[in-house]
Structure 1
Amino acid sequence: QHNNKPDPEHLLYKLQQTDSSYRYTNGTQGTAWILIQENPIKGYGYGNDVYDGVYNKRVVDYPTWTFKESIGPHNTILYIWFSAGILGLASLAYLYGAIIRETASSTFRKVEISPYNAHLLLFLSFVGFYIVRGNFEQVDIAQIGIITGFLLALRNR
């Protein structure tokens, strides 16, 4: 018999089946989540050295962590939340939403598909780099300024 009630334990089990790199449990993203939960409001400060320092100092308190030395959170959103707290997370979500709204609305306004559609190229670049790759690696957030600059230039042409 099948029930349709959500089962968090089953979901966690299914996620851990894809955890060959210890991404979710006690490796990279899971340990970042634990550290975020300890200081979610204001964060710890910005920079790889800050994350590495906090991780390396706290690893003795968590003997089940897979990596005894920091290799980073491997997730851009977790990294920003760890660094800047809830305000940084909200700012990142707002920036992501603004870029998606601007590129998607301009991309799909016209029916014609052209290889010169700059909004489509920016949309695909953003989604590929920050949404897809950013979920599995800590990508450099500085390049988001280039996408934003192009969008501002396209808006004001």
Structure 2
Amino acid sequence: MEKTVLINRIKEINALSMPLVLNAIFSLIIKITDQMMLGRVSVEAFAAVGVISTLLYTIAGIIGITTVTLNINGSKLKGLGDEKGLKIQFTSSLLFNSVIGVGVALIILIFKHPLIIYIYNFNGEVLNHSIDYLSIMSIYVLLQLLLFNFSTLFKINKKNKMDIDWLF
């Protein structure tokens, strides 16, 4: 009996962790694809994409920790059967992360040049390619925060499969 319970727990944990693993794999694929396309332009462009995508991934991960609050509070509310409270918690988290994501995007767009020079001390072609790529990808943090919110909601509701009819 205990072995069956343990196996079920492991399956449940694996089912919940699979979206995280897929997110990491897809992020890596996007980064490599960007580098392959820009690597044809120049070595500097290749380096710039690698550095900037890592920077954005790090920023999104650090700020994305805010969804832990949704995970904790939302799970409690779900455990209590308070669906209305869960929706309010989700909406609040979504709004908060949207404001933070838009704010980070604006900061990146406004201060991209001094930011890259200050953090990485880039100059020349690497600086130009970094700024171009950062301008295009400034929305990345916002999109990641929104994805974190929805994936947390899916985990709370144990709906990490592709059937999202329960959401609507």
Q: Do both share a fold (TM > 0.5)?
A: no
Scaled by the length of structure 1, what TM-score is found?
0.33
Which structure exhibits the higher relative contact order, with contacts defined as CA atoms closer than 8 Å and separated by 6 or more residues? 2
More helix by percentage: 2
